[in-house]
Amino acid sequence: MSSPLRNEIIVMNLPRQLPVEGESSAFLSTQAIQRVNLPPLWYLGVVPQENGYWVAQILCIDRLISLGTFNSEVAAARAYDTAAITQYGDEFFRNFLLTSVTIHEPSFQSNYSNETIVEMIRNGSYELKLIHFVSNHPRNYHYRGPIEMPSCMDAIQEVFYKKMFHKELTLTDLEHQKVLILPIDARPFFPRVRSNRVQFWLEFKDRMNRTWAFQYFYWSRFQRSILTRGWSKFVSEMQLRADDIVVFYQCWDRRTHPEETFDMVDIIRGLRITRDELQGLS
């Protein structure tokens, strides 16, 4: 008589859904692009023009909103990501991974109406005001790298990213680096597992296409989700520090046929300093 399975290992696929045709203005322009034989479409919400410029547009309920004409495909794709926040919140696939600037966009946009944000995108003032807002962030959150908008280095062509949640690491997180207690807003993305007999593993890619596996369980006493085995290796190899931000995404990969999805983990490198320290650096 065989003994019962005591340590079943299950690799979890997080719940996700591919967009259907019509959710993004990028799909609305496919026929037009083919008709004039323009370059392939790498970004959502971006339409190439015969004169070498790029138009950004977004679908709002039942109408298409033009966000302006841009000198580069990347600038138009950033405009789409910005406008999508006003229309969809976190429920959209973005063109770029979040950066030290764009992770603060919801806070920045809370100061303006949707109409004002669209107008700032059109007149070219939005990104300068956003960078100024982040540079003078009231929490004195500054970064090891330059404060810049996303570039092509923050994207993979034909891969799009929906943010699930993020966690700003504290000294406590790093002192107990064998586990990571996930934020409450991570709860909808994971099942509430109460069995100690089953090991659930989550697999994530990083921007270098390396695979990371984390053991997961649900701490029912405190109603929190936790990553255990595999997390300390990630902390060590990625050289994480306090105030780094770990961002988890669901990704939509249009490079494959049929299209596929995968999960991704990325790092925004951060460093919080006091006002006196900041003045000493200036």
Condensed to tens digits (0 to 9), the pLDDT of residues 231-249 reads: 999 999 999 998 899 999 9
| Residue 218 binned pLDDT confidence (cut-offs 50, 70, 90) | confident
Rounded to whole angstroms, the Cα distance separating 276 from 274 reads: 5
Rounded to whole angstroms, the Cα distance separating 73 from 67 reads: 13
Higher pLDDT, 154 or 35: 154
Q: What residues contact 164, with CB distance under 8 A and at least 6 apart? A: 14, 186, 189, 248, 249, 250
Instruction: Report residue 105 CA to chain centroid gap.
Output: 12
| Residue 10 pLDDT | 40
For 276, phi then psi, to 5°, come to: -65, -40
* CA within 13 Å, CB half, 282: 7
114-124 average pLDDT score? 96
| Residue 190 pLDDT | 79
For 264, phi then psi, to 5°, come to: -135, 145
| Residue 193 pLDDT | 62
| Residue 142 binned pLDDT confidence (cut-offs 50, 70, 90) | low
| Residue 270 pLDDT | 80
For the segment(s) 8-14+160-281, the CATH number from 3.40.50.620, 1.10.287.70, 2.40.330.10, 3.40.50.1700 is 2.40.330.10
| Residue 146 binned pLDDT confidence (cut-offs 50, 70, 90) | low
Rounded to whole angstroms, the Cα distance separating 151 from 68 reads: 19
Higher pLDDT, 258 or 194: 258
Higher pLDDT, 271 or 68: 68
259 closest CA partner among 116, 158, 176, 178: 158
Angle of helix 73-88 versus helix 126-135 axis, rounded to 10: 70
| Residue 180 pLDDT | 94
| Residue 247 pLDDT | 97
Query: In the CATH hierarchy, which fold is given to the domain comprising 25-147?
Result: GCC-box Binding Domain (3.30.730)
Q: Residues 75, 96: contact at Cβ < 8 Å?
A: no
Q: Residues 216, 200: contact at Cβ < 8 Å?
A: yes
Q: Of the given ranges (21-30, 136-145, 153-162), which has the lowest mean pLDDT? A: 21-30
Q: Where are the domains of the chain?
A: 8-14+160-281, 25-147
DSSP state of 44: T
| Residue 6 pLDDT | 31
Beta strands, E only, the chain: 8-12, 46-48, 54-60, 63-70, 141-142, 159-168, 180-181, 198-205, 211-219, 224-227, 245-253, 260-268, 271-272
Tell me whether domains 8-14+160-281 and 25-147 share a fold. no
For 167-208, how does the pLDDT look when each residue is reduced to its tens digit (9 = 90+)? 999 999 998 888 999 998 898 887 766 555 556 899 999 999
Answer whether residue 66 shows pLDDT above 50: yes
**Secondary structure (3-state) at 114:** helix
81 closest CA partner among 161, 135, 18, 153: 161
Kindly state the tokens that stand for 45. Answer: 């919400």
Q: What is the mean pLDDT of the chain?
A: 81
| Residue 139 binned pLDDT confidence (cut-offs 50, 70, 90) | low
Pairing outcome for strands 63-70 and 54-60: antiparallel
For 23-35, how does the pLDDT look when each residue is reduced to its tens digit (9 = 90+)? 333 333 333 333 3
Q: Residues 18, 256: contact at Cβ < 8 Å?
A: no
| Residue 244 pLDDT | 92
Answer whether residue 5 shows pLDDT above 50: no
What is the sign of the dihedral through the CA atoms of 31, 158, 49 and 88? positive
